[in-house]
Amino acid sequence: MDRLSEQIAYSSGRLYPATEPYERRIVDTGDGHRLYVEECGKPDGQPVIVLHGGPGGGCSPYMRRFFDPDHYRVILFDQRGCGRSRPAASVQDNTTAHLIRDIEQIRSLLGIGSALLFGGSWGATLALAYAQAHPKRVSGLILRGVFLGRQTELDWFYGGGAGRFFPDLWARFCDPIPETERNDMIAAYHRRLFSDDLGQQSRYALPWLMWENALAGLQNQSGGHAPTEYARAFARLENHYFANGCFLDEGQLLRDRDLIAHLPAVIVQGRYDMVCPPLSAWELAQGWERCELRLIPASGHALSEPRITQELIRVMDAIREGLFANSH
């Protein structure tokens, strides 16, 4: 979950100036995928790996601007099948386990011992999954809009829960699907997004994308628009992961939290997040002594929500000044 942030709304928060990467590369995973990877900021700075949402959202220049470029070495990459990675919209060999291996390959290739993980929505899911698989490679977690990949969360968003607050937008999402199939909207869209008809894939990608995008920002529920190829990649990848339970055991990320209990973490969570309601962030933080949950008033889900932006920048600046100094 989580669409390209600057296409939802630019934040009025104090972002760092726009910067260009000092390094761009294509990383061959060895199994048919080629990943776009970029590095920004200070080449010998404190490393932070940015994990975008979706699955399928891709990175954007906006995401570079949360980090002091004179302190942080910022690594961004487009996950399999999306953004500038190729092949586009491919779900072949595209699972959570593959993405965890990709992060580890990138970390090793760049010679990074351990790194901060910065991720929101699906990016928070992936950050937790990677940290639990490789806790020694993580120095801390900065999470936003927590999504734990559980069936209850998918039921909330695709089973009508969020639709109780947005009945007009829910109706727009349901309209393309025959009433006889609406008991399982993920499966109904899956049949169309993965049909052999490329035109049908594209036609059903936009309403899938618009439903999530419309609920991401607290103030803007228009849903917006997106290029056809972007919408197709986003919808196919996200639906593929959700149709397969995010390739996680049910409740896995909470079950295995003890593996990362020693790591420091900050969760920035919109109080009125309709895409990923605060309950998941609350449950994740309970009993995690080194985790601080910050519930942000008058804020929804998007990275670009003004108060979310401001809080994330405050967190990263505090880490620069030593907030996570004793993380090992």
Alpha helix (H) residue ranges in 139-290: 151-158, 167-174, 185-193, 198-216, 228-243, 252-255, 279-285
Pair (25, 121) in one structural domain: yes
Same domain, 123 and 96: yes
Do 275 and 130 belong to one domain?
yes
Per-residue confidence band for 11, with pLDDT thresholds at 50, 70 and 90: very low
Examine residue 165 and state whether it is found in any structural domain, yes or no. yes
* DSSP H or E segment with residue 74: strand 72-77
The pLDDT assigned to 327 comes to 54
Average pLDDT over residues 256-277: 98
**171 and 230 belong to one structural domain:** yes
Out of 246, 262, 290, a domain closes at 246
Q: Give the phi and the psi of residue 62 in degrees, each rounded to 5.
A: -55, -35
User: In which domain, by residue range, is 234 found?
Assistant: 159-246
256 in the same domain as 231: no
Let me know if residue 328 belongs to a domain: no
Of 216, 246, 276, the last residue of a domain is 246
Instruction: Determine, yes or no, domain membership for 279.
Output: yes
Length of the chain: 328
The CATH number given to whatever domain includes residue 285 is 3.40.50.1820
Higher pLDDT residue, 229 or 222?
Answer: 229
* Pair 143, 233 in one domain: no
**Of 139, 273, 280, 299, which is the active-site residue?**
273
pLDDT, position 14: 87
Instruction: Please tell me whether residues 315 and 254 are part of one structural domain.
Output: yes
Residue 95 lies in a domain: yes
Q: Is the same domain home to 164 and 307?
A: no
Residues 122 and 238 in one domain: no
Contact at 8 Å (CB) between 3 and 53?
Answer: yes
Is 240 one of the annotated active-site residues of the chain? no
Confidence class for position 10, pLDDT limits 50, 70, 90 = very low
Task: Assess whether 121 carries a catalytic annotation.
Answer: yes
Q: For residue 55, say if its preceding peptide bond is cis, omega within 30 degrees of 0.
A: yes
48 and 188 part of one domain: no
- Residues 153-180: pLDDT tens digits? 999 999 999 999 999 999 999 999 999 9
The pLDDT tens digits for 99-134 are: 999 999 999 999 999 999 999 999 999 999 999 999
Evaluate whether residue 326 is within a structural domain. Answer: no
Which residue among 33, 190, 240, 301 is the active-site one?
301
Residue 328 pLDDT level (bands cut at 50, 70, 90): very low
Query: Domain tally for the chain?
Result: 2
Mean pLDDT to the nearest integer, 261-286: 98
Residue 318 has pLDDT above 80, yes or no: yes
Is 102 an annotated catalytic residue? Answer: no
Average pLDDT, the chain: 94
Catalytic residue among 90, 121, 280, 299: 121
Same domain (yes/no): 195, 227: yes
Q: Which of 231, 246, 261 is a domain's end point?
A: 246
Specify whether 15 is located in the same domain as 127. yes
pLDDT surpassing 50 at residue 5: no
Q: Is the pLDDT of residue 8 over 50?
A: no
Q: List strands edge to edge, sheet with 23-28.
A: 23-28, 34-41, 72-77, 46-51, 115-120, 138-144, 265-270, 291-296
pLDDT reading at 73 higher than 70: yes
Q: What is the pLDDT of residue 6?
A: 39
Q: Is residue 327 part of a domain?
A: no
Q: Is the pLDDT of residue 293 over 80?
A: yes
